[in-house]
Structure 1
Amino acid sequence: MLERYKTVYEGGQGEIVEKKSRFIANVRPVKSEEEAQAFIEEMKKKYWDARHNCSAYVIGEHREYTRCSDDGEPSQTAGRPMLDVLLGEDLYDTAVVVTRYFGGTLLGTGGLVRAYSKAVQEGLANSCIIERKHGILLAVETDYNGIGRIQYLAGERRIPIQEAEYTEKVCLKLLVPVNSMDEIQKAITEGTSGKAKMRKVKELYFAEKDGEYLLYEI
């Protein structure tokens, strides 16, 4: 399982013009090949009057589903360059369609490669991209004497506190990256002289967006 990976949270659109040809890129997050194909068909229907609707997508933990289409453009001048941009940005579970309205002037193979690549970059620039981290939701129960130490440890190591419940004792829920788990548990044990009780609630992915944390089931 990946420790962390980048993906699109909200898709966007970008457009460039090269020698009067319009290149419109639409980006969307996708979870399956079926979703990607449905998105591609949706764009073809939306831009039914365009000469080309080229596409590329990368799906799966190991990018098991990696496809691209030139849709009538010369071989390797559209889909592959588009795919290379997605791979170069190290993205997962992402699809892009670039629609071309021909402007009457041939761009040549090099010009097409540059135009389709630039269009995808514009689309990604207008999308919201997040990084998901593989983690554990860790419940920590302590007395009121220990809470300050745990909050300090969490802040020092940039470990988000997802929830806090105050009763006779305090129960904090921390979002801990998997690769930091042993270190954090050891630090909490030492910081509270072994008084804190810890329990792994669940394994998940989490990401930060606008100061808030998004949780994703595994």
Structure 2
Amino acid sequence: MSKDFYTVKKQVEVEMEERRSIFICNIKRVLNEEEAMNFINEIKVKYKDATHNVYAYITNNGISMRYSDDGEPQGTAGPPVLEVLKRENLNNVAVVVTRYFGGILLGAGGLVRAYGASCKQGVDAAGKVKESEAVVFNIVCDYDKYGKVSNYLSKRNIVIRNTEFTEVVTLEIMAFNDEFQKIRQDLIEMFNGNDIIKVKEEGVTCFVDEEGKIMEVPQ
């Protein structure tokens, strides 16, 4: 990826009060625009009696983004929520900030600050994890080679997604691209030029923990 992106670790709902108005931020990791809109519509139904349900989302490595002021003065609600997501380098995330009007007008500046603060509170509560891209591949080996392969893989930065024991042993593995290239090279040398790897999918979204280790899902 040309830029480091983050997403949220978990779905959360947080509430704050600003001059008697109640702001409720719901934020969730999504995979695409369709999931984002499904989540947004769920929250709109949940809080259908609210004064406003403002939303924003970013997907597709920061390329696809959308927001709605949902009846607030133009530019005072959706844009500040979206700006928080952009400033935090978030991707594949959707947020809805629900407002119950408390009887005191906040003014344009006050709305911008309140919606932005509510979104930032949601991001902080959800936590962030770095996104990256990975390769998913199979290693297919005979049983007499499995011990050697398993020992080697235990020292690599990978996720073993599945292991099947049939006539042969098949391991499905997720790894960063540079790690995959190193594994393929090492195994070819280890088994005298035989390539026992078959690529299944490239450009798969994965996650990176605080120590730089690959994860399949946020933890």
Q: Under TM normalisation by the shorter chain, which class is it?
A: 0.7 to 0.9
Distance 1:38 1:163 in 2: 31
1:24-46: CA deviation from partner (whole Å, max 9, x where unpaired): 01224445545544544443343
Contact 1:56 1:68 in 2 (8 A): yes
Distance 1:168 1:113 in 2: 63
* Equivalent in the alignment of 2:109: 110
Contact 2:134 2:206 in 1 (8 A): no
Residue type at the aligned position of 2:199: K
Q: Measured at CA, do residues 206 and 57 of structure 1 come closer, stay the same or move farther in structure 2, by a change above 3 Å? A: closer
Distance 1:24 1:53 in 2: 9
Distance 1:42 1:187 in 2: 49
Distance 1:141 1:37 in 2: 44
Can you give the 5+ residue segments of structure 2 that lack an aligned partner in the other structure?
Answer: none
TM-score, length-scaled by structure 1: 0.74
Can you give the 5+ residue segments of structure 1 that lack an aligned partner in the other structure?
Answer: none
* Equivalent in the alignment of 2:21: 21
Deviation at residue 167 of structure 1 after TM alignment: 6.4
Residue type at the aligned position of 1:101: Y
* Equivalent in the alignment of 1:49: 49
SS in 2 for 1:160: strand
Distance 1:193 1:170 in 2: 19
Contact 2:54 2:96 in 1 (8 A): yes
Contact 1:4 1:134 in 2 (8 A): no
* Equivalent in the alignment of 1:198: 197
CA RMSD after TM alignment: 3.6
Over the matched positions of the two proteins, sequence identity in percent amounts to 37
Deviation at residue 11 of structure 1 after TM alignment: 2.7
Aligned residues: 212
TM-score, length-scaled by structure 2: 0.74
1:178-206: CA deviation from partner (whole Å, max 9, x where unpaired): 34332221122234444562222444625
Contact 1:20 1:105 in 2 (8 A): yes
Contact 1:146 1:192 in 2 (8 A): no
User: Where does 1:1-218 land on structure 2 (aligned, <5 Å)?
Assistant: 6-8=6-8, 10-61=10-61, 63-64=63-64, 66-127=65-126, 131=131, 133-142=133-142, 144=144, 147-148=147-148, 150-166=149-165, 170-194=169-193, 197-203=196-202, 205=204, 207=206, 213=216
